[in-house]
Structures are given as C-alpha cells and as structure tokens.
Amino acid sequence: MDPHGAHDPGMTRFTLNGTEVAPSIAADAPLLAALRGPLGLSGPRFGCGEEQCGACVVLVDGTPAFACTMPVAAVTGKCVETVEGLGTPEAPHPLQRAFLELQAGQCGYCLSGILMAAAALLRRVPQPSAAQVKEALDPHLCRCGSHNRILRAVLRAAEEMQPA
C-alpha cells in the first residue's frame, strides 16, 4: 500500500495547542484524522462523522468546530485547541477541575468535545445562565445521562473563574 493522495507534508500549517504543526496528511483529510493520526492526540473523538454528536469538537480560532468533517486545509494558519491543550492533571483548567469534583461523566467518550464547547462559551459569556450552557451544549450528545452533572460543572467552573 503506497501512500496515495495529495501528501505534501507541511502543506497545511496551523497552531495546535500553542505549537506550530504541519501534519503529514492530505489537505482534504478531515482535521480529526490529522489530530488522531500524525499528530497523535486522543482527546478529539470520532462519534458520527456527520456533525450530529459533538464528540470530535475542537476549537478553531476559539470557536467550536466539528473536526470530523472539516478538512485540515481549512485550518491553515489558524489556532486549533483540543482538550489536551486545555489543562493537565498538574494544572487543570477550571472546567476540568469542576468536572472531576462533580464527577460529571460516566463513560467519558463525549467529554472532550463538551469541555471544548464549554471552554468557548465561558470565554464568550463568563457568567452564563443554565439555559445558555444548555444551548451551547445542545450539539453534543451524551448517552450515559450525565447532562445535569455536566451542566452544574460548567456553572461551577464559571463561578471559579470569576475574579474575586
């Protein structure tokens, strides 16, 4: 199996979680394939490939985007953020801390996308209402039924992020 398609390593350059990258993948490949493939990430997940579930959501220049359908060329020169860039166990983002404190998750497959959508919301609306959180998370499916814990965790993170 020879490599096939428009491989031109470095053709698509973008910033991933603060670092410039040029994944070796065809320009028309989905961003998700670049992130999980040559870029080696696990956070963005494949759920449906049809923009219906939100498991793949990452931020592109701060806005939630479905990485499953967006061609990697579309992020050329842009800033892509994934859950790996949000925080680490040593320095968690307030959202990650709140999700752990409130045990907001069961299987966890949907969480990467939800955390990113929530992070974008809190940058735009630092003190959202419950209704605003629900609206922001409506593109995201959770089958385990952790919705209410997730909602409370986002609101708690918002509170914690307020300057004292």
Say how far apart CA 115 and CA 64 lie, in whole Å.
10
Instruction: Kindly tell me which of 53 and 75 has the beta carbon lying closer to other proteins.
Output: 53
Residues 11-70 that bind other proteins (CB under 8 A): 25-26, 29-30, 33, 36-37, 40-50, 52-53, 55
75 binds other proteins (CB under 8 A): no
Which of the ranges 59-67, 73-81, 108-116, 121-129 carries the binding residues for other proteins, by CB under 8 A?
108-116
Question: How far apart (Å, rounded) are the C-alpha atoms in residues 139 and 145?
Answer: 15
Closer of 14 and 146 to other proteins (Cβ): 146
Cross-strand bridge partners of residue 65: 58
Minimum CB distance to other proteins smaller for 37 or for 78: 37
Give the C-alpha distances (Å, rounded to integers) separating 40 from 87, 93, 112, 123: 17, 21, 15, 27
Cβ atoms within 10 Å of 32's Cβ, excluding its own: 24
Shortest Å, Cβ 43 to other proteins? 3
- Asked if 53 and 47 count as a contact pair (C-beta separation under 8 A), the reply is yes
Cα separation, 111 vs 146, whole angstroms? 10
Q: Does 142 bind other proteins (CB under 8 A)?
A: yes
Rank residues 13 and 152 by Cβ distance to other proteins and give the closer one: 152
Partners of 13 in beta bridges: none
Contact positions vs other proteins (CB under 8 A): 1-5, 25-26, 29-30, 33, 36-37, 40-50, 52-53, 55, 82-84, 87-89, 92, 96, 99-100, 103, 105-112, 115, 131, 133-135, 137-138, 140-151
